[in-house]
Amino acid sequence: MVGVSGASGAAYGLELIARLLDAGREVHAIVTDPARTVIAMETGLVLPAQPQAIGRKLDQYFARSITRHGRLRVFGNQQWSAPMASGSARIDAMAICPCSMGTLSAVATGASHTLLERAADVMIKERGRLVMVPRETPLSTIHLAHMLHLAQAGVVILPASPGFYQPPVTVERLVSFIVARTLDHLGVAQDFMPSWGSRAQTWGGSRVYTANRSRKR
């Protein structure tokens, strides 16, 4: 499962979904209303409000960049009948990418006011694999305290802080760095980011950003 919240860094969330679909995975996604606003601002992709319509739009958006399709299902953030609202669904792993500080705070305190927050709460209580990719700077003591609380509960806190040892000659590589690390912690094999000390020097560019940025405006 992938939750895309309203933090800056929409490319991270879109790229993560694309890579999971390319790996043949079934992806359950939630795109919050603030996320739709940020996606439009940062990528030019305007998503409709209805979950099924979002799914169709994303399928079209990814069509130029994905070679092996998994299945994408988009759920509304108040769709309480969705599978991820219950631990009985047995979701393999979940990422919130990018993760806003509001979403992080809600998950850290067990608020569960939305489906995204409830799904994260379920992953924590079921001892599932949850990766949160916060994108904010600077971080306040409140933000840091919430991250510590979540880390102590077993959540992987993976800030959107790309490394520079690739070297990052394009923005796409910076995006791919974070997405690759997220996939690693989700337990999904990836071969486009060589591990540190590896002989591999070839980087796979972003599936989505490169293929679609010419259509942004």
pLDDT tens-digit profile of 107-138? 999 999 999 999 999 999 999 999 999 999 99
- Please give the average per-residue pLDDT across 146-158, as a whole number: 98
Class of domain 2-215: alpha beta
pTM greater than the 0.85 cutoff: yes
Q: Where are the domains of the chain?
A: 2-215
The torsion defined by the Cα of 123, 135, 76 and 47, in degrees rounded to 10, comes to: -150
Give the highest mean pLDDT range of 81-85, 165-169, 210-214. 81-85
pLDDT of residue 210: 54
Q: Is 19 left (phi over 0), alpha (psi -120 to 50) or beta?
A: alpha
pLDDT of residue 194: 76
